[in-house]
Structure 1
Amino acid sequence: MRLGITMFATDRTMAPHELAREAESRGFVSFYIPEHTHIPVSRDTPPPTGVDTLPEEYARTLDPFVALAAAAAVTERIRLGTGVCLPAQREPIVTAKAVATLDQISGGRFVLGIGYGWNREEAADHDVPWKQRRGIAREHVLAMRELWTKEEASFKGEHVSFQPSWSWPKPAGHVPVLLGGAPGPLLFSHIAEYGDGWMPIGGAGIREALPALRAACEEAGREPVPVIPFGTLPTPEKLGYYASLGVEEVVLRVPAGGRDEVLPVLDEYATTHLRD
């Protein structure tokens, strides 16, 4: 089984490019970091972690594209991804350029992990109507795909449109899009339409959800997509369970801390769970 790493990277944690380099040297195959543009101080949205107070790290996340570009410069093989990016809150033409540039300079190693978001106030500051965020995210990804793949790209949708345009660079190859989120008909229909995989946070409920995901892909006329459990705290039993479901890659979580806190955990994961 292939193993990747994710960290809630901030201005107070181990630098992402250093962690990516350390992860690559130990044999991990992927490295992901999240994004939040900002966290409004006054919020009605409860923290997604179930705690009373939102951890400070949510307000201190780095820009993932800048941080991953630094990681690309000091690594050679490890895949570099967002876990997750919030495309509904991003202008798609500018984001398409950033993704294509990052994929170019990394030699085709970028993975776009996306989500719909949980923070109503953050979305509102981006002028994203809460109930429309899934549809906006979908159109933004579809519009970016046009820019990545067409010599003259255009798009006309409900939430985004642009006239026939030139936009280079193009990505070095196909940019995989992994969708995060809880299982459900809408998520699975989006994955079947424009996704390259499902990235369930924590990995709970995969066995029960797999038939519905496979059915959505079959209805869309495509083969089943991979499932990549994300943010896992591993045990041999848990990884064995994932393997029994046909999962081929799992992204493990390391603490949002400095080198002295992160590297021992990385070493433990490598020693205990990586196989030649």
Structure 2
Amino acid sequence: MTTALGLGLPQNHQYDVGRDVPDVARAAEQIGYQSLWAYERVLFPEPAVHGLFGIPGLAWPDDYRSVAEPLVTLSLAAAVTERARLGTSVLVAPLHGPFQLARSLATLDAASRGRVVAGFGSGWSLDEYAAAGVRPFEERGKALDEAIEVCRAVWGPDPVSYDGETTRIASAVVGPKPARPIPILLAAGTKQARRRLVDHADGWLPLAMGAEQTAAEWRELQDLAAERGRTEPIRTVLRANAEYTPKPYEGCDRPLFRGNADQIVDDLAAHAGIGFDEILIDLQKGTRDAQELKDVAAEVHEKARASGV
């Protein structure tokens, strides 16, 4: 079965969000991409005392200096497309008030006629939590649990009621409702997070780390699902962060998904063999503007399909 292909939207600082997001979204759907995706970074600490992923001394990439808000980005894409799914990969749910997050996603799904995929993560940046976190960084797992519960409640039948740590809904009509049940996918990089996924989510949103390692993680998740008695299938969307180079990357130490279109497609094909439902390819890094992003996206899509992906 052919793997579905998705494309990351232009959110980074080199793009004009109001102009380039609709332009790229419209072109991507015409090219044949089946989904469009937005990610979340809310600030760029300077100096970055805590480091990338909380690792001291590890610099934050310049790509994170200005990242457009994901739900606004997807709303711009929704207005100019008809078929492509609209996903977050990932939205850091504990940086949002759970009730307002649930309502925003429901409204976007209703407006787009049932195209939203809610990809959530718990986040890793102490600086982002200090600025925007609903609860302390140490409680991010509990905050994510509550966000999922509130979303399920708000998206469900009226009257809605919920009594949690930060959210209390006595009994209320809350609309609009999603056009259909919105799938919740989790990044789930730790054992505890994977248990949360198996017990409470619809699918998995891993980051491509090489075909062998990614396949091993997928087997571990499937084993955990069997161990915990899950019978529903786990929807899978693999995120591939690419760095495009016009000329082929030379050398035997080529980083994953770095190089020209042929090299990126080689890596796509290796990961497609694992059996994921969908692969999201983000081509923002290395493309200078929206026109180059569209051109590279078209070339990658054509060559991926020609290779059997």
What TM-score results when the alignment is normalised by the length of structure 2? 0.81
Partners of 2:270 and 2:41 in 1: how far apart? 32
Give yes or no for the alignment of 1:242 onto 2:247.
no
Give the one of 224, 233, 248 matched to 1:224: 233
CA RMSD in angstroms, aligned pairs only = 2.3
Amino acid at match of 1:224: P
Instruction: Check whether the contact 1:123–1:130 (CA below 8 A) recurs between aligned residues.
Output: yes
Partners of 1:49 and 1:33 in 2: how far apart? 22
Amino acid at match of 1:178: L
Instruction: Check whether the contact 1:213–1:224 (CA below 8 A) recurs between aligned residues.
Output: no
Which is further off, 169-178 or 62-71? 62-71
Which is further off, 79-88 or 209-218? 209-218
Give yes or no for the alignment of 1:214 onto 2:222.
yes
- Distance of aligned partners of 1:203 and 1:20 in 2 relative to their CA distance in 1, 3 Å threshold: farther
Partners of 1:31 and 1:199 in 2: how far apart? 14
Give the one of 201, 208, 211 matched to 1:202: 208
Give the one of 150, 155, 159 matched to 1:148: 155
Partners of 2:13 and 2:126 in 1: how far apart? 24
Instruction: Check whether the contact 1:140–1:160 (CA below 8 A) recurs between aligned residues.
Output: no
Give the one of 109, 129, 136 matched to 1:129: 136
Give yes or no for the alignment of 1:266 onto 2:297.
yes
Instruction: Check whether the contact 1:228–1:248 (CA below 8 A) recurs between aligned residues.
Output: yes
Task: Name the structure 2 match of 1:88.
Answer: 94
Partners of 2:34 and 2:231 in 1: how far apart? 26
Identical positions, percent: 26
Task: Name the structure 2 match of 1:10.
Answer: 12
Task: Name the structure 2 match of 1:120.
Answer: 126
Give the one of 61, 69, 78 matched to 1:55: 61
Which of structures 1 and 2 has the larger relative contact order (alpha carbons within 8 angstroms, sep 6+)? 1
Instruction: Check whether the contact 2:48–2:59 (CA below 8 A) recurs between aligned residues.
Output: no
Q: Secondary structure at the match of 1:31?
A: strand
Deviations 1:127-158 (A, max 9, x none): 43222102201211211110011211122233
Partners of 1:115 and 1:168 in 2: how far apart? 25
Amino acid at match of 1:239: L
Which is further off, 248-257 or 43-52? 43-52
Partners of 1:46 and 1:8 in 2: how far apart? 24
Give the one of 25, 41, 46 matched to 1:41: 46
1:49 CA displacement? 11
1:56 CA displacement? 3.5
Q: Secondary structure at the match of 1:71?
A: helix
Partners of 2:51 and 2:30 in 1: how far apart? 39
